Structure 1
Amino acid sequence: MVDTALVFMDHKQVRLFDKTRYELSLGLPALIEALPDQKVFHTGHHNLVRVAIAANSGVATDYHVFLALARKGKRMTMFIESAYPADLLEDKPKYGKPIRFLVALRNYYEGN
């Protein structure tokens, strides 16, 4: 039985609030702030993912944060597309070699 108080409409679809994802999302500002010193992976779907260790109710878990970069003129914009703890990912991800975030950012800026 689903608690209807946890159901909400997200533009086109009905979604269910996930407490675990919400709690992990509270750490996103710090994770994004630390990106310049971190490594990311290309997903093969025109975006990047940062896999970080996050505490979920006191237990360490891999936290996959999917990022999209876009260039408009000389300006770069980054969007957080989604974020999941590893146990909620539908498929086991197979990422390539890690790359420093600033290198990935430069590559996107230069169109590589």
Structure 2
Amino acid sequence: MPFVVTLLILFIFLFGAYRLVQIMGRLRNGKLQINRQRGLLLSACTVLAYLALAFATALVCAGYAYLVWGLFQPKFPLNHLIPIFVTIFAYPGIFFGAEWIFYYGFTSDQAMH
């Protein structure tokens, strides 16, 4: 069971990193725009959700790197693992929350015509 949870979290992490790159590329190409018709608050939340997802992705990446580095240390304190695991297990919630905001906060090129 822990193996399945680990694979699921890793899959969500990789999909989150992919979505960050995809959103930025579609925004740059003009195929995706922030939906300004729903108000300034939703636009601000959309930008903050993107930044939160980017920050959480960077934290999980750093956590994985620190975890791998710690495996090769002779005396690695186990209490350093608690914040890493909290960050890793909180990532799916951050990802799905950001995706929910993206659903309402972005409008695609097809919806504009």
Greater fraction of residues in strand: 1
Greater fraction of residues in helix: 2
Shared fold per TM-score greater than 0.5: no
Of structures 1 and 2, the one with the larger relative CO (CA 8 A, separation 6+) is 2
